[in-house]
Amino acid sequence: MNGDSHRSAPEERLVNLVVALLATEQGLTKDTILTSVAGYREQGAGGASKDALEKMFERDKENLRALGVPIETIGDFADPDDLREARYRVPTAEYSLPVDIDFSPAEIAVLNLASGVWGESSMSADARSGLRKIRALGIDVDAPIIGYAPRISLREPSFTPLQRAIEQARVVEFDYIKGGSDAAHRRRIQPLALLEYEGRWHVYGFDVSLGAERTFLLTRISSDVTVTRASFDAALREGAGEKALAGLTAVAERQRALLEVEPGTEAALRLHRRGIPAEQGIHVPYVDAHIFADELASYGPEVRVVAPTDLRDLVIDRLERTRALHAEAVA
């Protein structure tokens, strides 16, 4: 992630922000973040107003919390509700392993291999520069934080243009394939929030052609995202992430699959994290039947769908198609 050419990328700014917030126990004020963390610093130098930078920071906090990053807000001790001089941090204790955990030699070897993505070289030059600036302000910075940032790849090609369109409050267009369909249809939306749910990225926005709010899976965007010159009211973004997350959660609560899962398998490891124990197996909430069927079919005989019937049929259809393709390949 090194190099000036990536300096304005939203995902780079988010990583730099996490690095800075993890680096100090006492936390950082908003002013320190906006003037020291790469991504905000350059925007300010380029003429962005303080109000615009603060709104960007609020959206970034929202996105990180949606990803499970626990950002703490530390207010005035005399008046906790007074956030004018609030400090922000990511508590390192959230990432500490319990002292009673032991690893076998084989597990330690695997962890050592995994640690190859870490180290000071994995942190961008911008992130290191930000930490130097924070140190220069007299704020203690934890040395072990160096090397926090892993190598990060973009979730989907559409992620960056959508994030930039959200920041600029610009309408976008893209081709989208609905679940169960092979045909793509052109969508024109006001993008309001990006969020991750069930390990998949979604964009939430107002579909201009339908005149309604919709949530789209990034994996189903089948074309480049075109950022148009048309703009929309930036105030629509406020609270959009929470609204989208609540909507997806509500859908998942209405759709629960009853699954029988083979113990000790990859399927058990992944599904039990999301599942609720049932008398016959586990209940697992899901949003999109076609996407979930793809996942379940990938586990093969490790999972059996008890209910609902339409989900079971989708999984069986995928398994039969896989068997047919395999038969053709060996014929």
Residues 212-224 as b or e (16 or more Cβ within 10 Å = b): ebbbbbbbbbeee
By C-alpha distance, which of 70, 86, 61 is closest to 239?
A: 61
The CATH 2.30.30 portion of the chain extends over: 159-237
Confidence at residue 9, expressed as pLDDT on a 0 to 100 scale: 60
- Other beta carbons within 10 angstroms of residue 282's beta carbon come to 19
Confidence at residue 282, expressed as pLDDT on a 0 to 100 scale: 95
Q: Parallel, antiparallel, or unpaired: how do β-strands 28-29 and 72-74 relate?
A: unpaired
Q: What pTM does this model have?
A: 0.54
Per the structure block, which two tokens stand in for 279? 């008398």
Confidence at residue 8, expressed as pLDDT on a 0 to 100 scale: 43
- Measured distance CA(105)–CA(308) in Å, rounded: 43
Amino acid at 202: H
Spatial contact of 64 and 17, defined as CB atoms under 8 Å apart = yes
- Measured distance CA(156)–CA(216) in Å, rounded: 13
| Residue whose entry in the numeric block shows the structure tokens 């700014």 | 13
Per the structure block, which two tokens stand in for 283? 């209940």
Spatial contact of 202 and 210, defined as CB atoms under 8 Å apart = no
Confidence at residue 323, expressed as pLDDT on a 0 to 100 scale: 84
At the second CATH level, the architecture of 159-237 is Roll (2.30)
Helix, strand, coil percentages in the chain from 3-state DSSP, rounded to 5: 45, 20, 30
The whole-angstrom distance between residue 281's C-alpha and the CA centroid of its chain comes to 29
Average confidence (pLDDT) per 10 residues, the chain, 331 residues: 44 79 81 85 76 85 78 66 73 59 57 46 52 55 42 64 92 91 91 85 93 93 95 93 90 93 85 87 92 91 95 94 78 62
Confidence at residue 120, expressed as pLDDT on a 0 to 100 scale: 41
Helices assigned H by DSSP within the chain: 10-22, 30-36, 40-45, 50-66, 105-114, 125-136, 159-168, 240-254, 266-274, 289-298, 309-330
Q: Is the peptide bond before 263 cis (omega within 30 degrees of 0)?
A: no
Question: How are strands ordered across the β-sheet holding 170-177?
Answer: 212-217, 200-207, 184-197, 170-177, 226-231
| Residue whose entry in the numeric block shows the structure tokens 């490891």 | 269
Counts for the chain of helices (H) and strands (E), in that order: 11, 12
- Measured distance CA(230)–CA(227) in Å, rounded: 8
